Structure 1
Amino acid sequence: MMDDEISSSPPLWRKILHGVQDDLLNSLGYPATLRRRLNNGILPVSHPQLRNTFWLRSVVCWQTWLEYEKHCIRYLRLGHDGDYDYLQRHIPQLDGLINSETSESFCCDITAVGGLSASSDCDQELSSLDAFAQQYCQELAIPLTRDRLNRNLSHHGLRLSEMVFSQFTWMPARLYWNNVDGAHHFAAARFLATQLSQPVSLTGQLNTYSINPQKIRQLTAQWDLFLVPEGIVYGEFKDALLRLKCPFGVSNPPHWENGDEQHFRVIWLERHQTAPARVSRPLAQAGFPSLSQQLSELK
């Protein structure tokens, strides 16, 4: 077994030769070390698990992306000592990337609501409010009568004239009730209203979030953005780019799925600089998720 492992590993002279070749190509501005580490699996590709549930947690929160950081990223630039200097860089295209509008007198029927924000069962991977009602609210939806409908609507968590809603243009055809309580009674009431063809009017505040196409075009024209596993950014990845003397930015991704984004970082590479542009190509070829493409596809 040990002999097989030794024989399968490249000989020392070949490792030395590869190192010399890579150093030469790196010095000429070609990301040889990066490519070799990508090909050898040292820098693994990982894709986020985005789930299309009816819960608000499944909405990618572009509207709050880097809000806490005041739209600044960490920017690594080669310093006088040959190592990276860690700087803060403001990204002006993020200012106004998402437009928000609030309506205080929004009115809709209960059947128009397609998503909820909270429930004791919000960990369930369900794609629709109808499925939630049928699987987790059956006791509240029987018998199929207007009296049962009214009893659900009278639940203390449902203030039918003081609702708060959200909608996102990148999550089409889904209006979310930003509830704190009452998810099961609401879903049962919605199911009963549909079955009984009984209108139920809801009023309250609507917060609408929409993309700013001009800002997205400006952002993606300047930057290539890739999602990279958090654990490799400041190790093998940074070292490979340092050998190339390539500046790059690092930031958190937008929030999604109750914190799943914490397993990733966004790598920022300027399109119009030679070294970053040459890094973008092997990252794209290796299959790292392109956040630039995702932004360009937002509606």
Structure 2
Amino acid sequence: MPPLLKTIINAIQEDFGRPASLYALLDTHHDLSATLGEPPRDIASESVARWHEWGETPFNHWPRRARGEVMGWRYVGGTYSSFYVNREEFANFGSCEVTEDWECDIQDVTGLAASKSELKDFDTLDRMVETNSRNMIEPITADKLRENLAWSEIRILHRDYPSDFFARYLWDGRVFLINSGGSHHFAAARYIASRIGAPVPLRGRLRTYAINEMAVASLQRDYEMFVMADIPKATLGFHDAMQSFRASYLWQHLPRPYRDSRAILLPRADARSMKVAAALHEAGFFDLGLHLRGLAARQTHAHSLP
């Protein structure tokens, strides 16, 4: 079909409420869709998805946005133009509750923040120490346990006011020690203690990160939300299709480690945007709203655990 005729036909269909340009884009740009896979369950705290930071502009992005500010596009007065809206949900999407003198056993800690070993290579602390520091776990005795625990770089044990602290991301559920050193001696002590049945109490500051479940519900009420690959050629094509159809949309950065994707928000109050949402559902785009609701449910379950 000649390009001019195709353009005319698409325009007619769009006048009658069918996002023809978008359907054409989806047929040719299969790389526009992206999925938020579960981050690997390794022992690195940085591998946990930073949902509590959602709404913050990445440090290397320009222009900077105010916290909670979202950029969008809409058709107003015969012109398709950009606009900004401040959404309290993004300004306060995450929270951090600090508990002083929190107590746990060494077995409750399943990951760390720093090590000379590559933490992302291991799914358990046991595997790390078995692989890289076997001399620290042989023999498996109470004396060897005491030797490891005496290592001064385990700051959570050997500082009155340690810089190290515990962290828990409720949608993840695990407890991490955000340490500055002593990773192998800590892991070795934990390894030996589990095998000889010796308790090793720990005490320190706990930072519990959570997502605002009311913010999730509010965003879901006002928007259909999808994930789109942050590929310039494809996202520009999406923008052109939305402009051609005169449908409103907003977009937002995603938190680490999903920086290669973006969130697309389609206002439920805009009938044309809902036609776009139907097309994206039909094309199998990742439903971000459903994903966030699942994270909130997982967080609620974590809250109920002792």
The answer to whether TM tops 0.5 is yes
Change in 2 beyond 3 A, CA 1:107/1:269? same
- 1:53 matched to 2:38? The reply is no
Q: How many residues align?
A: 281
Distance 1:238 1:158 in 2: 52
Greater mean deviation of Cα atoms: 123-132 or 149-158: 123-132
Match of 2:197 in 1: 197
Deviation for aligned residue 1:158: 0.6
Deviation for aligned residue 1:205: 0.1
Deviation for aligned residue 1:43: 5.2
Deviation for aligned residue 1:107: 1.1
Greater mean deviation of Cα atoms: 99-108 or 138-147: 138-147
Change in 2 beyond 3 A, CA 1:276/1:121? farther
Root mean square deviation of aligned Cα: 2.1
Distance 1:157 1:222 in 2: 50
User: Please, which of 279, 284, 294 is the counterpart of residue 282 of structure 1?
Assistant: 279
With the length of structure 1 as denominator, give the TM-score of the two structures: 0.85
User: Retained in 2: the 8 A contact 1:46–1:288?
Assistant: yes
Match of 2:6 in 1: 18
Distance 1:139 1:57 in 2: 27
Match of 1:7 in 2: none
Unaligned runs of at least 5 residues, structure 2? 58-65, 300-306
SS in 1 for 2:143: helix
- 1:28 matched to 2:16? The reply is yes
With the length of structure 2 as denominator, give the TM-score of the two structures: 0.84
Match of 1:40 in 2: 28
User: Retained in 2: the 8 A contact 1:118–1:183?
Assistant: yes
- 1:44-83 alignment runs, 5 A limit: 44-49=32-37, 50-68=39-57, 69-78=66-75, 82-83=79-80
Deviation for aligned residue 1:42: 5.6
Match of 2:103 in 1: 107
Unaligned runs of at least 5 residues, structure 1? 1-11
Distance 1:246 1:81 in 2: 13
- 1:1-299 alignment runs, 5 A limit: 12-13=1-2, 15-41=3-29, 44-49=32-37, 50-68=39-57, 69-78=66-75, 82-85=79-82, 87-122=83-118, 124-161=120-157, 162=162, 163-172=164-173, 174-232=174-232, 234-256=235-257, 261-298=258-295, 299=299
